[in-house]
Amino acid sequence: MTDGQVTIKLTSDEALVLSDWLEKLQMTDLSRVVGDPAVRAPIHRIAGTLDKALPELFAPDYDQRIETARQRLRPEN
């Protein structure tokens, strides 16, 4: 972190599931859930970055892909 930026590495499953959750979060009244505007700014930035990096978001079988990713990420009982 020498240039003042932080890099976060995610698997494609993690990125897809996080992107889906962030999209749902942003569709709510985000200011009710996240009161501090300083926190909302990076949420939007992360969501935008994931949107650009994930072509799966626009795939016709998106629902199947997101569910498969969730299943792979859930710990086994």
Domain boundaries, the chain: 12-73
Total-model pTM: 0.83
Q: Which of 19-23, 53-57, 69-73 has the lowest mean pLDDT?
A: 53-57
SS3 59: coil
Give tens-digit pLDDT for 35-67: 888 988 899 999 999 999 998 888 899 999 999
- pLDDT surpassing 50 at residue 21: yes
What DSSP element (H or E) covers 53? helix 37-53
55-75: string of b/e by CB count within 10 Å (b at 16+)? Answer: ebbeeeeeeebbeebeeeeee
pLDDT for residue 2: 62
pLDDT for residue 71: 96
